[in-house]
Structure 1
Amino acid sequence: MGTANTYTEHELVQGLRARDQQVFGYLYDHYSPALYGVVLKVLNDETAASDLLQEVFLKVWRGIDKYDTDKGRLFTWMLNIARNTAIDALRSRAHKLEQRIQELGNDVYAQTHQLAIHPSVDHLGLSKVLEKLSKEQRAIIDLAYYKGCTQEEIARVLDIPLGTVKTRMRNAIIQLRNILKQV
């Protein structure tokens, strides 16, 4: 294989498939900053991103036999693993949070009258308003306004065309306006 300092992409793939720990160490040292950046951008949490990066490299190590050189570069394959793992973690976290919120039940609503920002729309009331949107629209509003994603990023995260993101966001905003007028 290459010199002690560098490997070609082919040598990296062969080394990983041969379970060469030196090659894996090289891969980690040279690619972890880029993959960490992707994970951090999705999760927006440095501790969680560091933890998840270990999982990403474990998936690379275990899944190298699934990598197909004809379908793209090794780095692109690893980036997709990092992005998908981070999105899965984010969805899982969101699902767990949603479950906890549902478990709170009506007890929370009894105390929210003190939190009112607008007489008819308080912080928890806004959640109720958002529930009137379709699942697809809520996902886009969540990514845009709560996670700070651009429309291009939303299209990549949800794996839908940019035009679809723009249409759904516009329709969601129009629908929210109409709902809030009725409140």
Structure 2
Amino acid sequence: MEQPNDLILEMQNGNEKAFSRLYTMYSEAIYGIIYSIVLDENTAEEVLQDVFIKVWNNAASYSVNKGRFFTWLLNIARNTAIDETRSKAFKNSRKNLSTTNFVDILSSSDSLNKKTNAIGLKKFVDALKPACIKIIDLLYFKGFTQAEASKTLDIPLGTIKTRNRTCINDLRVMVLG
């Protein structure tokens, strides 16, 4: 997908129609990322709205020269979703989960693959080394902190940080060619 620089510039100048078009272009993929972290449709929808409010309010902070719009948007979504999972209200809502929720989680795990595949990201991630796939999956798609990924993978935190940086650079090279 080619970056819509004209729409981005219009949005940064306060054009609501341009913002609406950007929302239409990116909301489905961003929703998929958010859902993979919060694992609840209503929460994912609320977080999606919060993300795009942040995008509108902070549009001036995005620069085409610093990176792709989707990457900027993805970072906002990921951070907002992780913040939501760390909130007291979210944790309290998860205390009494029924077994049907776990069935839903298992059956919806393919949802992320569809969402990332729809934007063409899956083929790039799948082309990475297996260690990179694990790290990117935990950090960016499942919302783990680097410390949590370190414990889960039984790898020192410094190694996780280094591998993450290397893997993201490898991904950047593949995507940007």
Structure 2-normalised TM-score? 0.55
156, 167, 172: which is aligned to 2:154?
A: 167
> Letter of the aligned partner of 1:64 in structure 2?
A
Q: Which has the larger radius of gyration?
A: 1
Task: Tell whether the 8 Å contact from 2:38 to 2:85 is kept in structure 1 after alignment.
Answer: yes
The structure-2 alpha-carbon separation of the partners of 1:49 and 1:155, relative to structure 1 and needing over 3 Å to count, comes to closer
Quote the residue 1:49 is aligned against.
Answer: 44
- RMSD value over aligned CA atoms? 3.1
For this pair of structures, how many residues does the alignment match? Answer: 114
Q: Which residue of 1 aligns with 2:175?
A: none
Contact (CA 8 Å) 1:151, 1:165: kept in 2 or not?
no
Aligned partners of 2:151, 2:26: CA distance in 1, in Å? 33
Paired position in structure 1 for 2:114: none
CA distance in 1, matches of 2:154, 2:3: 44
Cross-structure match for 1:144: none
Structure 1: any 5+ residue segments left out of the alignment?
A: 1-6, 102-147, 170-183
8 Å CA contact retained: 2:37, 2:81: yes
Return the alpha-carbon distance in structure 2 between the equivalents of residues 159 and 96 of structure 1.
Answer: 16
Question: What residue is the counterpart of 1:92 in the other structure?
Answer: 87
Percent pairwise identity: 35
In 2, Cα distance between equivalents of 1:54 and 1:90: 16
Amino acid aligned to 1:36: Y
